[in-house]
Structure 1
Amino acid sequence: MKEIEVFDYSNDIMKELQKGILITTKKDGKVNSMTVSWGHLGIEWGKPIFVCYIRTGRYTHQMLDSGEFTVNIPLDRDKNGKLINYCGSHSGRDVDKVKKLGLHLIPGIEVSAPAIQELPLTLECKIIYRQMQESSKLPLEMQEHFYPSDKDSSFGINRDQHEMFFGEIIKAYIAD
């Protein structure tokens, strides 16, 4: 493991976020990873922060009650794109993604959520704040596109609202 200064990798993290990265959680002994492409990296309350946006109907949303997560970022998109796509199109309620994909988990250093060897750029985060988004404050065309009232939780884009999870980055590294 090579510890890193997270902001030295901010361009890499944000470029990969646009294509999809994983948020990994662990609760009651179960590990789940979900693809996200909404988020940001920055400073809040004088702390390095990664913010992810998770719909309330997602399995990961309930797993985040653990109070922590890891952010798993590929260094080789060509090699790991299918893995990220799979995690974004299958629910952890229905399938053990770690087992199905043969992921190699590395125990977290400061959190119980693991790093993933296949996606080695890792941010360990403790949730210090969470807040529901108010979609009613968005322009109508965005409300209709991102929160269509006729789509339930089983659809990718659906009526479920997003909650923002502010994770203080307490450890950043490239896993071996």
Structure 2
Amino acid sequence: RKGDTIMIIQRINFNEYSSEALEQLKKGAFLTVKDGNEINTMTIGWGTIGYIWNKPIFMVAVRYSRHTYKLLENAKEFTVSIPLNNNLKKELSYCGTKSGRDVNKFEECNLSILEGQKVSTPIIGECELHYECKVVYQQVMEPATLDEEIKKRSYSNNDYHVLYYGDILDAYLLKK
């Protein structure tokens, strides 16, 4: 419940909305992590949904410089909340440019924190599509093996990503 609104969870197959999820990902989605009592969300624009190790996987990339990196290293789980109908452009922009070290993004953007179903990390209530994931593998990027064009374009400052492969434990739509 959010206020007087009843929220209905409609479970979906992990790949049922993958086309919509990946289309929105280009515009932004929320990656949320909870470590102990600290909760942070950040905007991601990259990720993949796939099937590896006989598991549905959501792979996210987090730079070492991000506050979320330290939290994710401890938590080993995350949620991805994706707006489908709500235009959260302003909130996505804010959460992509401000650090959780300095501000409470949930308060600043008036985003609701709703309990996760299968993980202790919450979801963002204003989004319709949600993935709850447990990290089953992570890989530090190896700069020597990266395409030179991508390296120049995305890593001129040498702030590389760690790739986190999350077993999708739950996928659902949140309906009001």
Map 1:1-176 to 2 at 5 A: 1-64=9-72, 65-77=74-86, 79-148=87-156, 158-176=157-175
Residue 136 of structure 1, CA deviation: 2.0
Partner of 1:154: none
Partner of 2:3: none
TM-score by length of 2: 0.90
How much identity, in percent, do the aligned residues show? Answer: 39
The C-alpha deviation readout for 1:90-116, integer Å capped at 9, x for no partner, is 010110101111111110111111111
The C-alpha deviation readout for 1:10-52, integer Å capped at 9, x for no partner, is 1011101111111000112111111111110000100000000
* CA distance in 1: counterparts of 2:20 and 2:37, whole angstroms: 31
Higher helix share: 1
* CA distance in 1: counterparts of 2:14 and 2:91, whole angstroms: 24
Q: Is the 8 A contact 1:123 1:169 kept in 2?
A: yes
* CA distance in 2: counterparts of 1:141 and 1:12, whole angstroms: 28
* CA distance in 1: counterparts of 2:151 and 2:22, whole angstroms: 24
Q: Is the 8 A contact 1:16 1:74 kept in 2?
A: yes
Q: Is the 8 A contact 2:85 2:128 kept in 1?
A: no
* CA distance in 1: counterparts of 2:166 and 2:149, whole angstroms: 30
Gaps in structure 2 of 5+ consecutive residues: 1-8
Residue 141 of structure 1, CA deviation: 3.2
* CA distance in 2: counterparts of 1:125 and 1:28, whole angstroms: 17
* CA distance in 1: counterparts of 2:59 and 2:149, whole angstroms: 24
Partner of 1:153: none
CA RMSD of aligned residues (A): 1.2
Residue 138 of structure 1, CA deviation: 2.0
